[in-house]
């Protein structure tokens, strides 16, 4: 029996032709015509906020932290239940990540925990839109304004999602996006910075272009370019932008394919999931989600371990997700936590993600559903 993988990249029609056109264009480095085209398509998904493509979401996170001026002595509040890149960006800038707990309903950062963690050293708050479902972003934004903090949004999971009608990735001053092959829209490795507060735009271009004003030079705004600030090399190669462009042209189709799988899981597993004492993924009514993942919360670490083993025996590769950052070796070394964070620990112990990708066949979805239904204690 073939193993159903957790994820497979989706390759739309026209991908190979687009890649060959880009490779034959004579422009393989960044900020070429493919970058411009992909950036324009992306900007439309963020209420026309400008975007800068980067080699990964990790690079975009690091750029965002640098742009707000976080450094030694500063604290940045982040959820403990997130990928390491969010906290790493803070640490690399010399600031301290302060880990707080998540809401049990959405597994997103808890606004009350944020308020408790604020000190005179707090510089910013990082929100993560876990599974493409938003936290209480309006409340968090108001809290940041009350205390004079910068709001940053890690929207790696949330492209195309909305909260109360507003696109995720547009609530914060700066937001980041991932185009890793596990994401809905993908180019192998890639990311972008969404600049909603335009006061950061000029310096974002400088940082991304090795600390030079090269972008202004190419637009004819300066006679020659020179080194003007700190910076790094954060451009996405143009052939990868070509791949991203094709993905974005197929955005609606990709979302539909994922949505169909997600809804089959949600409706056809309802009774059995309840019978084994587990719960299904929760999507609040104010959220229009992007169908990035489908997860179950098992009742204990033991039950999750047994469940994943059972699915593997049935030829289905399901997986857990993040492990708590606050109790990790690096988390204890570089950051501090706000309490014991029980909701974070429960998510780390009990959450399991089912296979989900655009292009899953009906037979593959049937097999996953049958495998889940076949599990009992």
pLDDT at 211 over 80: yes
Mean of pLDDT over the chain: 95
Q: What per-residue confidence (pLDDT) applies to 25?
A: 92
CA-based Rg of the chain, rounded to a whole angstrom? 21
- Structure pTM? 0.94
Domain positions in the chain: 15-249, 251-373
Cα–Cα distances in angstroms (integers) from residue 291 to residues 15, 156, 218, 252, 264, in the given order? 23, 13, 39, 12, 12
Mean pLDDT of 195-218: 89
Q: What per-residue confidence (pLDDT) applies to 219?
A: 72
Contact 280, 293 (CB under 8 A): no
Mean pLDDT of 283-290: 93
pLDDT at 242 over 90: yes
Q: Bigger pLDDT: 87 or 228?
A: 87
Beta partners for 212?
Answer: 227
Please give the Cα distance from 363 to 222 (Å, whole number). Answer: 59
Q: 78: pLDDT confidence band, cut at 50, 70 and 90? A: very high
CATH of domain 251-373: 3.90.1150.10
Q: Bigger pLDDT: 331 or 216?
A: 331
pLDDT at 276 over 80: yes
pLDDT at 205 over 70: yes
**DSSP assignments along 215-283, one per residue:** HHHHTTSSSS--B-S---B-PPBHHHHHHHHHHHHTHHHHHHHHHHHHHHHHHHSHHHHHHTT-EEPP-
* Interval 24-38: pLDDT, tens: 998 999 999 999 999
Helix (H) / strand (E) element for 147: namely helix 137-147
* Interval 293-309: pLDDT, tens: 999 999 999 999 999 99
Please give the Cα distance from 109 to 141 (Å, whole number). Answer: 13
pLDDT at 368 over 70: yes
pLDDT at 214 over 90: no
The span from the first CA to the last CA of the chain, in angstroms, equals 24
pLDDT at 310 over 80: yes
Mean pLDDT of 331-352: 95
* Interval 12-66: pLDDT, tens: 999 999 999 999 998 999 999 999 999 999 999 999 999 999 999 999 999 999 9
**Both tokens assigned to 66:** 């640098």
Mean pLDDT of 142-170: 97
251-373 shares the fold of 15-249: no
Please give the Cα distance from 157 to 130 (Å, whole number). Answer: 6
Percentage with pLDDT > 90 across the chain? 91
Q: What per-residue confidence (pLDDT) applies to 223?
A: 65
Mean pLDDT of 208-226: 79
Q: Which of 119-133, 203-217, 231-245 has the lowest mean pLDDT?
A: 203-217
Please give the Cα distance from 160 to 46 (Å, whole number). Answer: 8
Burial (CB count <10 Å: 0-12, 13-18, 19+), residue 361: exposed
What sign does the dihedral 81-107-185-78 (CA atoms) show? negative
Single out the residue of 355, 362, 377, 367 nearest to residue 182, CA to CA.
355
Which residues contact residue 98 at a Cβ distance below 8 angstroms, ignoring those fewer than 6 apart? 75, 76, 77, 78, 117, 122, 335, 336, 337, 338
pLDDT at 222 over 80: no
What CATH architecture is 15-249?
3-Layer(aba) Sandwich (3.40)
Distance of CA 309 to the CA centre of its chain: 27
């Amino acid at each position: 029996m073939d193993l159903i993988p957790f994820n497979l990249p989706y390759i739309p029609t026209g991908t190979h032709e687009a890649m060959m056109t880009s490779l034959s264009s004579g422009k393989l480095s960044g900020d070429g015509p493919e970058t411009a085209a992909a950036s324009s398509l992306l900007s439309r998904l963020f209420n026309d906020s400008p975007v800068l493509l980067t080699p990964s979401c990790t690079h975009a996170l690091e750029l965002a932290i640098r742009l707000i001026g976080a450094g030694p002595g500063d604290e940045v509040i982040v959820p403990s239940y997130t990928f390491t890149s969010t906290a790493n960006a803070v640490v690399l800038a010399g600031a301290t990540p302060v880990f707080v707990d998540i809401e049990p309903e959405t597994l997103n950062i808890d606004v009350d925990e944020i308020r408790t963690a604020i000190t005179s050293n707090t510089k910013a708050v990082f929100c993560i839109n876990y599974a493409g479902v938003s936290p209480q972003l309006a409340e968090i934004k108001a809290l940041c304004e009350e205390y004079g903090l910068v709001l940053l949004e890690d929207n790696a999971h949330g492209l195309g999602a909305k909260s109360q009608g507003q696109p995720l990735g547009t609530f914060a001053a700066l937001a980041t996006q991932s185009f890793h092959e596990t994401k809905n829209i993908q180019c192998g490795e890639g990311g972008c910075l969404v600049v909603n507060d335009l006061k950061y735009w000029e310096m974002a271009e400088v940082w991304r272009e090795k600390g030079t004003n090269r972008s202004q030079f190419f637009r004819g705004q300066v006679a020659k370019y020179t080194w003007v600030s700190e910076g790094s090399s954060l451009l996405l190669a143009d052939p990868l932008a070509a791949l991203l462009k094709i993905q974005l042209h197929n955005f609606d189709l990709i979302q539909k394919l994922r949505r169909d799988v997600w809804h089959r899981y949600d409706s056809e597993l309802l009774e059995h999931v309840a019978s084994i004492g587990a719960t299904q993924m929760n999507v609040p009514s104010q959220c229009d989600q992007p169908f990035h993942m489908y997860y179950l919360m098992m009742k204990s670490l033991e039950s999750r371990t047994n469940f994943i083993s059972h699915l593997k025996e049935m030829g289905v590769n399901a997986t857990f997700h993040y492990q708590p950052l606050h109790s990790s070796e690096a988390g204890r070394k570089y950051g501090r936590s706000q309490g014991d964070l029980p909701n974070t620990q429960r998510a780390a112990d009990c959450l399991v993600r089912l296979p989900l990708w655009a292009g899953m066949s009906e037979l593959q979805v049937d097999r996953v559903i049958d495998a889940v239904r076949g599990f009992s204690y």
